Structure 1
Amino acid sequence: MRTRTVWECHSCGSADVQVTRSPRLTEAWQWLKYGGRWRSEEGICRACGAPVSPGMQFGLSGSLPWWRTVVKVPAAVVGVLHRRRRVTPTPIAYLVPALAATVVGLVAQWVWGWSWWLFPLVVVAGLWLLYLSTGFRHPGRSRPLSRELLDVVAPGGRLRRQQEEEEQEFRTAPFPLYGLPLSWPGLRYTAGRSQSWSAGEPVRLELELGHGDPQDGTRLNVAVTDRPSDPYEVRQAAEELWESAQEDGPRWFRAVGDRPDPVWAQVTIPVDGEPQVFGYLSEGSCWVARAELLAYTIVVKGRVWPVESVELVRVERLEPYLAGRRQLDEAHRSASS
């Protein structure tokens, strides 16, 4: 599939961008060290002088060549293992051992007459298989490898399987989930789940419940994370708030990362009938509140929702939230069709 790169200034929205490329040796060195795309392009907006990064790439229609159709499933299986790898090598991780193996191969050819090219070939193939094997073991509560491979082989049932897995994740949550009292009559739904990890750190799991209509913007989401927050997560919560308050579509992210760390106020929200002090930050019609309880963190995010009206209780029955998610998914499928 052919693609094209869209350039647009994040500061003023102008498409008049002067694009420059790094020297070829610099590009090659950056690619060896970090991998990724070979081309290294930068832009300067001619209208306001701000630096511009490459925008999204859009696929252009066209039929796939026959060989890509034949290898589609095997390539997708390898792609699953690539995504699951615990170690992601860069090109230099292959180049240095391959050069060393080439030297050994040349010596072996001179002494014993062996083919020198077998040495770097075996080393590179062995390293690739070694890195690929780390995809069989993945940290934390990630999806089983068998499920991901099944999605590739039988994609027709992928959405149903993912919905079942998400429901099971919420049902077996290792921490309590919080939402609005049963007296609140509106729509409830599961709003998402996420997990992250880093070397030497436990997996961070977050489950989120939603209240209200996600289409008209009047909503309240309550997320619970299974460990206390760190400064990075606090900053991330502020940036997500600023982003959600933007009203300029694809340029919501402009200048968000350049804003200084905010000063969080305090607000009291009842939790299971007991007043609990939350850190509070607002932007326009949006706000976020955070509090640490025991070994987990509660994050409440509201949009066009008065914070003083919020009362949280422990969720004992998940079925209204699971039914609400099915209702939203069905409505989305009907609208798409």
Structure 2
Amino acid sequence: MAFIAITRMLSPLKDYAQKFEAVMTLDDELNPEVVEILDPLVGEFLRTSAVSEQLLQGLTTLADKLHRIADLATGTGTPPANLPPTAQRLASWLVSRPMPNAQAALQSRLVAEINAGQSLTGGPPAGELKAVLKLRKRLTVNGQLLGGSVAEAAFDRRCSRLLNPESIDKIIGPTSTIAQELEAVLPLLDEPIGERSREFIVRMVDQMVQACQSPQRLVGENTPPPQRLKMLARFHKRIRKAELIGAIKTRILRTVETFHADTLKTTDPLGRIEQQGGGNTEKALALIDLCRSGMLIPGEYLDKTRKAAESRLKSPDFMPAYLAAAQDPSQRAERIQALKTMLIEAGLGGG
């Protein structure tokens, strides 16, 4: 009966706009039978620009429009405000009722817009890339990208248009050292940028590191040794975690390790601590600080420093001297807890 009534209501109407207005006058309290009948009609309405654009009023960038379409296509979020009454009612339907045909129409619009190649933001490359990755994340539901392989290929093309020799400097922004450039670009390897863009980033990182002939060239001529060690150690850690081809990763790590070792030879922070004045407890704490400073990379020097710290920690005079300033049991407990935290940060266990 409902199907016949709706058909009779719509039959005299000539275009989708009129039919859409008529359907949207139906009672909000639609029973499942009526929703099932209306779903294909709403799907047809949404494939016309006259109807779909009503849902996007007030939005200027394609990125904002596609995020709204995604919300409606997945039935998530809340209906957008400040829409025309009929569009407002349709948005409420889409986020509150299962309407597979309508949602399929919106998903089709999403894929078509992503595939078309129009800028999401109309702005500079860095903002555009951020918008591309944000939209892709929004369209990934339960590990699956809406639009499947077609949408994936479209996103990959968008990334490759942004991540290339002509535009990469605009993505990275101003930097003063090669290390800063690398720190800006390496996080991109954690993003779904596509194989072509990934290969470009990997080659770029490899070439930049291999072109450096000294640690100063990598981290900056005027960078003081402690900061130089920290930058090299941070870069080494980032490379270890990066998804790089085995041979390339090994080559980059060896170069960074060589630069780090060269800097240690000229500065030797462990030797300086051992040679400086002060008692056992003072030196033990200095060694702990060195281990947790972020200046050392995994390897022989860090192991040697930890052993030196452990040796001084085991000395009978360490704990009495460390707790000497504590005036009461609560202060002693605080000092002991602080020491445990420092030991964990230094890779020396919880003590």
**TM-score, normalised relative to structure 2:** 0.23
**TM-score, normalised relative to structure 1:** 0.24
Q: Which structure ranks higher in relative contact order (CA pairs < 8 Å, sequence separation ≥ 6)? A: 1
Higher-Rg structure is 2
Give the structure with the larger helix fraction. Answer: 2
Give the structure with the larger strand fraction. Answer: 1
